[in-house]
């Protein structure tokens, strides 16, 4: 079902009951032949309401349904790595209650340091899922918390479409709102992080983001305290859900600044921003993870600066109102401005220099300076989602929205108001950040959908108005309400092919939108619906072959190791091991302690005896590695190995990256460097691999990912022994032997 | 605030909550006065009862959060 194109077409023909802006409304009303349609207007209103509600309902169901591919194909399970931690915490929350959860100290991860979970996570997602679970239980639908977790993201995506509709209606009119809802329901940029099973912060965070922005724009438009309060609550939900709230707390002051600079200061703005900022800041500080960052961290200082600037503007406005003398006011203005600017810069300077205001953290600084992370913080640079975006990703995730975006910007500039300025700023800033980091395409998706919706809606409205006015032109000339209608009638007459061209363009728009819907569904089905924990490939006869090795390994750990066993692996798998294997890990995906990760990296890249000492110091019992050479699975530990070297080498200068490369080239075959051929990771991955024939016609020990025959086939392990290898050799577990009784 | 300046800001959340309580109340009062003032052309169609109701609601939320934050 493709409700979007049909809804645009029919709705643009019928005037909306709520006149959006005075000018547009009057032209619409004047183009109607008054005596004929006035009798039908009531029925049209009801028709229009019915159409709108049914279109929204269909969009809601569509947004939910398009994200369910993986549940239908595999089973209802949690995907990827991060969601496993969220799932584990939600499970803990439902079992132990809220105050236990808030004060939870987790000793099963980051052995031997442990982790203060209550103070280092964003609780919004877990609390939401737990509340939904409790609500469903109260309605006596006994569902397991895992089902709720899997389906939370699609549910919130459907809610986001509703918010997008309201936002579009606020900015432009209800037609644009409907198109925005339809576009965002299937936009691949958003689907990628909110598919069923992807139980991650972004699923609810984008909903909170759009909600906050909508409420704030509404507050600025109406100037009422109630909407500002709602915006503050929306902001609180956003702070509780995702670290990306920093985007909101910087975009809002930037927007206020732009409004001030363009001379659009108004008291509505003053009321809205003040109330939202103070209440939002207070509410934001209730989350332990955020703490006092709103007053102490450099990333939040812009909001405070603009807050004080607004007070100054208000003060000046008030003084201007009191004083009747223009010259006196001008000199007063000059004095005040110089005073304020000097005080402001002095305060900022003292604060930054004395270290009270902490500078921008590495995560956000690398957004402003993309080269920073590669040189200074290799662990941020190593995450694949943090790489700069390629054009193909943009096209893949946005399709026709890419060229509708500039068109929408044009329309926004034609009709500038406080609301359209906001959406333009949101769109431009989020597109810039989306260009810096692939992961942030998600944040840009709602802006792009909204702006494109404006373009689509305005174009289609113009086209259908042309069609309608041409067909009803004998009646419009009869009624001379204003000069506009007469002028329009006079202008329309001389163009003969206008009707046909308009119809052709409408059909073209219809075709484009339907191609967009097809593309999005295809993208979702092919690219974004795979749970990374279960791999599938096509066998020789075309049937689907499923590799469930990860879960096999984790369940082996759960059932065959002592309960206090400690597992060392690379940090990618930490969350999954604790959630499914229920064992203590050394490092996991939280990556808050770089030295600890570097220690593991060093252990993996040293010779076996040095690594054994490190493992003894960390009380490691089992080591887990991921190896893709048999199946051709390319995100295995050998491909990630250079990052281990870099991160380890960043903290321990003993590990030098050139030792593992040959002429700058990374090789695993006979020509590889001796350090590479004998390091722990190599030995653990390729142990006994030299005897295995992986492909027909190739020598034994042929690595299918790297495409070479491995160099060191005769591997002997002295301090470790093989405990388990999964059926496709993807996960390999080794037991660390206790020290010998006689040394 | 002067007290905190002298003693040091150890229970920082209490200090912060009191400062923000003062600022917040001031801001809300100003907003109420703006909205009720008959000379303001932008708030012509806002009935003063609604403005006062909003003011009360916001103050309620403000003080609830302050009390939670005081520790």
- A526 pLDDT higher than 90: no
Q: Work out the average pLDDT over A235-242.
A: 91
Contacts of A304 in chain B (CB under 8 A): none
CA–CA dist A252, A280 (Å, integer):
12
Read off the DSSP letter of residue A74: S
Contacts of B61 in chain A (CB under 8 A): 229, 232, 279
CA–CA dist A282, A290 (Å, integer):
11
Comparing CB atoms, the residue among A271, A282, A292 nearest residue B12 is: A292
Determine contact: B30 vs chain A, CB below 8 A: yes
Query: Quick one: tokens of A537?
Result: 């490939």
CB contact under 8 A, B54 and A224: yes
> Hey, where are the domains in chain A?
546-736
Higher pLDDT, A365 or B64: B64
Pairing state between β A115-116 and A105-106: antiparallel
A556 and A549 Cβ atoms separated by less than 8 Å:
no
Work out the percent of chain A whose per-residue pLDDT is above 70: 87
Query: Minimum mean pLDDT among A70-74, A273-277, A585-589, B22-26: which range?
Result: B22-26
Higher pLDDT, A742 or A410: A410
CB contact under 8 A, B58 and A285: no
Confidence band, pLDDT 50/70/90 cuts, at residue A306: confident
CA–CA dist A31, A25 (Å, integer):
10
Contacts of residue A69, Cβ cutoff 8 Å, sequence gap at least 6: A195, A196, A524, A525, A529
Query: Quick one: tokens of A557?
Result: 């750990």
Residue A250 to residues A104, A369, A425, A439, Cα–Cα distance (Å): 31, 17, 12, 19
Query: Minimum mean pLDDT among A249-263, A609-623, A624-638, B42-56: which range?
Result: B42-56
A594 and A600 Cβ atoms separated by less than 8 Å:
no
CA–CA dist A470, A479 (Å, integer):
15
Determine contact: B46 vs chain A, CB below 8 A: yes
Q: Work out the average pLDDT over A504-516.
A: 87
Higher pLDDT, A7 or B19: B19
pLDDT confidence of residue A32? 45
Query: Quick one: tokens of A116?
Result: 């203060």
Q: Distance between terminal CA atoms of chain B?
A: 18
Three-class DSSP category at A123 = coil
Contacts of residue A179, Cβ cutoff 8 Å, sequence gap at least 6: A4, A7, A8, A168, A452, A453, A456, A457
Residue from B26, B30, B45, B69 to probe the interface with A (highest A Cβ count within 10 Å):
B30
Long-range contacts, A364-367 (Cβ 8 Å, 24+): A364/A246, A364/A299, A367/A433, A367/A436, A367/A437, A367/A440
> Hey, where are the domains in chain B?
1-69
Q: Match 């590695």 to its residue by tokens.
A: A625
Comparing CB atoms, the residue among B40, B55, B69 nearest residue A225 is: B55
Comparing CB atoms, the residue among A270, A275, A295 nearest residue B16 is: A295
Stated length of chain B: 71
CB contact under 8 A, A282 and B24: yes
**Helices (runs of H) and strands (runs of E) counted in chain A:** 35, 11
Confidence band, pLDDT 50/70/90 cuts, at residue A406: very high
pLDDT confidence of residue A7? 37
Comparing CB atoms, the residue among B13, B23, B42 nearest residue A267 is: B42
Q: Match 């989350």 to its residue by tokens.
A: A287
Q: Match 């509708």 to its residue by tokens.
A: A404
A689 and A614 Cβ atoms separated by less than 8 Å:
no
Determine contact: B59 vs chain A, CB below 8 A: no
Looking at CA atoms only, how far is residue A67 from chain B in angstroms? 37
Three-class DSSP category at A544 = strand
User: A697: left (phi > 0), else alpha (psi -120 to 50), else beta?
Assistant: left
- A691 pLDDT higher than 90: no
A125 and A201 Cβ atoms separated by less than 8 Å:
yes
CA–CA dist A69, A198 (Å, integer):
12
Confidence band, pLDDT 50/70/90 cuts, at residue A3: very low
CA atoms within 13 A of residue A378's CA, in its CB half-sphere: 17
3-state helix, strand, coil in chain A (%, to 5): 65, 5, 30
CB atoms within 10 A of CB A389: 18
pLDDT confidence of residue A21? 39
Name residue A733's beta-bridge partners. A624, A724
Confidence band, pLDDT 50/70/90 cuts, at residue A215: very high
- B8 pLDDT higher than 90: no
CB atoms within 10 A of CB A343: 11
Looking at CA atoms only, how far is residue B58 from chain A in angstroms? 7
Confidence band, pLDDT 50/70/90 cuts, at residue A478: very low
CA–CA dist A720, A741 (Å, integer):
16
- A18 pLDDT higher than 80: no
Residue A88 to residues A30, A83, A93, A147, A618, Cα–Cα distance (Å): 61, 8, 9, 13, 24
CB contact under 8 A, A223 and B58: no
Contacts of residue A167, Cβ cutoff 8 Å, sequence gap at least 6: A177, A180, A210, A213, A214, A217, A450
CB contact under 8 A, B46 and A225: no
A203 and A252 Cβ atoms separated by less than 8 Å:
no
Higher pLDDT, A468 or A475: A468
Long-range contacts, A415-418 (Cβ 8 Å, 24+): A415/A21, A417/A21, A418/A217, A418/A220, A418/A221, A418/A259, A418/A264, A418/A269
Name residue A721's beta-bridge partners. A735
CB contact under 8 A, A285 and B40: no
Comparing CB atoms, the residue among A224, A226, A278 nearest residue B24 is: A278
Does 3.40.50.12610 match the CATH number of domain A546-736?
Answer: yes
Determine contact: B42 vs chain A, CB below 8 A: yes
3-state secondary structure A223-243: CCHHHHHHHHHHHHHHHHHCC
Residue B40 to residues A315, A318, A400, B15, Cα–Cα distance (Å): 15, 12, 45, 36
Q: How far is C-alpha A566 from the geometric centre of its chain's CA atoms?
A: 33
Work out the percent of chain A whose per-residue pLDDT is above 90: 17
Q: Work out the average pLDDT over A138-159.
A: 88
Angle at alpha carbon of residue A399, lines to A466 and A370, rounded to 5°: 125
Query: Quick one: tokens of A90?
Result: 């939600």
- Give the residue from A732, A628, A580 showing the smallest Cα distance to A77: A580
pTM of the model: 0.81
A450 and A164 Cβ atoms separated by less than 8 Å:
yes
- A59 pLDDT higher than 90: yes
CB contact under 8 A, A292 and B16: yes
Comparing CB atoms, the residue among B31, B40, B42 nearest residue A275 is: B31
Contacts of B17 in chain A (CB under 8 A): 282
CB atoms within 10 A of CB A495: 11
For helices A3-13 and A41-65, angle between their N-to-C axes, nearest 10 degrees: 160
A530 and A633 Cβ atoms separated by less than 8 Å:
no
Query: Minimum mean pLDDT among A93-107, A108-122, A359-373: which range?
Result: A359-373
- A627 pLDDT higher than 50: yes
Number of Cβ pairs < 8 A linking chain A and chain B: 75
Name residue A585's beta-bridge partners. A567
CA atoms within 13 A of residue B19's CA, in its CB half-sphere: 14
Q: Which of A584-598, B8-22, B39-53 has the highest mean pLDDT?
A: A584-598
CA–CA dist A690, A699 (Å, integer):
9
Residue from B9, B50, B65, B69 to probe the interface with A (highest A Cβ count within 10 Å):
B65
């Amino acid at each position: 079902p493709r409700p979007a194109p049909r809804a645009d077409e029919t709705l643009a023909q019928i005037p909306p009951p709520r006149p959006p802006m005075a000018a547009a409304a009057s032209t619409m009303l004047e183009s109607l032949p008054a005596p004929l349609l006035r009798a039908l207007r009531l029925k049209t209103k009801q028709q229009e309401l019915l159409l709108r509600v049914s279109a929204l309902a269909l969009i809601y169901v569509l947004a939910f349904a398009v994200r369910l591919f993986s549940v239908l194909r595999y089973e209802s399970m949690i995907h990827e790595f991060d969601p496993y931690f969220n799932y584990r915490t939600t499970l803990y929350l439902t079992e132990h209650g809220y105050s236990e959860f808030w004060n939870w100290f987790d000793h099963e991860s980051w052995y031997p340091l442990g982790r203060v979970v209550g103070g280092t996570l964003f609780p919004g997602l877990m609390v939401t899922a737990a509340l939904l679970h409790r609500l469903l239980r109260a309605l006596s639908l006994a569902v397991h918390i895992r089902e709720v977790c899997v389906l939370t993201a699609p549910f919130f995506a459907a809610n986001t479409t509703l918010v997008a509709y309201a936002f579009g209606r606020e900015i432009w009119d209800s037609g644009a709102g409907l198109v925005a809802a339809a576009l965002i329901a299937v936009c691949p940029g958003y689907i990628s992080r909110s598919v069923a099973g992807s139980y991650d912060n972004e699923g609810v965070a984008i909903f909170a983001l759009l909600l906050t922005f909508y409420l704030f724009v509404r507050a600025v438009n109406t100037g009422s305290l109630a909407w500002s309060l709602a915006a503050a609550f929306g902001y609180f939900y956003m702070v509780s859900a995702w670290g990306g709230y920093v985007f909101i707390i910087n975009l809002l002051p930037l927007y206020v600044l732009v409004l001030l600079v363009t001379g659009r200061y108004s008291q509505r703005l003053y009321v809205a921003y003040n109330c939202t900022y103070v209440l939002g800041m207070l509410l934001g500080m209730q989350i332990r993870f955020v703490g006092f960052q709103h007053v102490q961290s450099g990333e939040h200082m812009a909001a405070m600066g603009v807050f004080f600037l607004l007070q100054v503007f208000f003060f000046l406005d008030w003084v201007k109102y009191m004083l009747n003398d223009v010259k006196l006011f001008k000199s007063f203005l000059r004095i005040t401005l110089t005073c304020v600017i000097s005080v402001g810069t002095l305060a900022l300077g003292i604060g930054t220099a004395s270290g009270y205001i902490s500078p921008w953290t590495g995560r956000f600084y690398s957004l402003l300076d993309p080269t920073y992370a590669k040189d200074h913080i290799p662990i941020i640079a190593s995450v694949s989602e943090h790489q700069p975006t390629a054009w193909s990703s943009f096209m893949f995730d946005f399709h026709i929205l890419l060229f509708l975006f500039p068109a929408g910007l044009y329309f926004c500039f034609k009709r500038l108001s406080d609301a359209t300025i906001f959406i333009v700023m949101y769109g431009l800033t989020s597109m810039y950040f989306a260009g810096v980091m692939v992961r942030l395409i998600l944040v840009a998706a709602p802006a792009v959908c909204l702006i494109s919706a404006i373009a689509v809606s305005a174009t289609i409205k113009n086209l259908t108005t042309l069609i309608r006015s041409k067909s009803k032109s004998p009646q419009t000339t009869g009624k001379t309400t204003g000069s506009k209608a007469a002028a329009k009638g006079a202008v329309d007459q001389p163009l003969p092919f206008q009707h046909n061209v308009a119809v052709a363009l409408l059909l073209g728009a219809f075709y484009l939108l339907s191609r967009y819907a097809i593309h999005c569904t295809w993208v979702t089905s092919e690219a974004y619906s795979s749970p990374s924990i279960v791999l599938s490939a096509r066998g020789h006869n075309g049937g689907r072959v499923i590799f469930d090795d990860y879960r096999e390994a984790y369940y082996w750990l759960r059932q065959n190791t002592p309960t206090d066993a400690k597992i060392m692996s690379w940090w990618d798998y930490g969350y999954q091991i604790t959630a499914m294997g229920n064992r203590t890990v050394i490092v996991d995906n939280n990556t808050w302690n770089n030295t600890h990760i570097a220690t593991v990296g060093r252990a993996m890249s040293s010779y076996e005896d040095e690594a054994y000492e490190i493992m003894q110091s960390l009380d490691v019992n089992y080591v887990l590695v991921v190896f893709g050479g048999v199946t051709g699975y390319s995100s295995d530990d050998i491909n990630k190995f250079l990052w281990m070297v870099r991160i380890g080498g960043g903290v321990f200068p003993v590990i030098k990256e050139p030792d593992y490369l040959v002429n700058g080239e990374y090789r695993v075959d006979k020509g590889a460097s001796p350090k590479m051929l004998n390091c722990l990771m190599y030995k653990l991955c390729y142990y006994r691999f030299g005897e295995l024939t992986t492909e027909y016609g190739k020598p034994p020990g042929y690595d299918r990912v790297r495409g070479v025959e491995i160099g060191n086939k005769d591997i002997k392990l002295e301090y470790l022994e093989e405990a388990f290898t999964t059926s496709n050799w993807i996960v390999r577990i080794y037991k660390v032997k206790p020290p010998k009784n006689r040394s | 605030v002067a007290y905190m300046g002298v003693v040091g800001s150890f229970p920082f959340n209490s200090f912060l909550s009191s400062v923000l309580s003062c600022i917040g109340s001031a801001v809300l009062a100003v907003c109420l006065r703006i909205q009720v003032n008959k000379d303001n052309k932008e708030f012509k169609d806002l009935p003063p009862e609604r403005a006062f109701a909003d003011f009360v609601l916001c103050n309620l939320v403000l003080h609830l959060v302050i009390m939670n934050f005081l520790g």
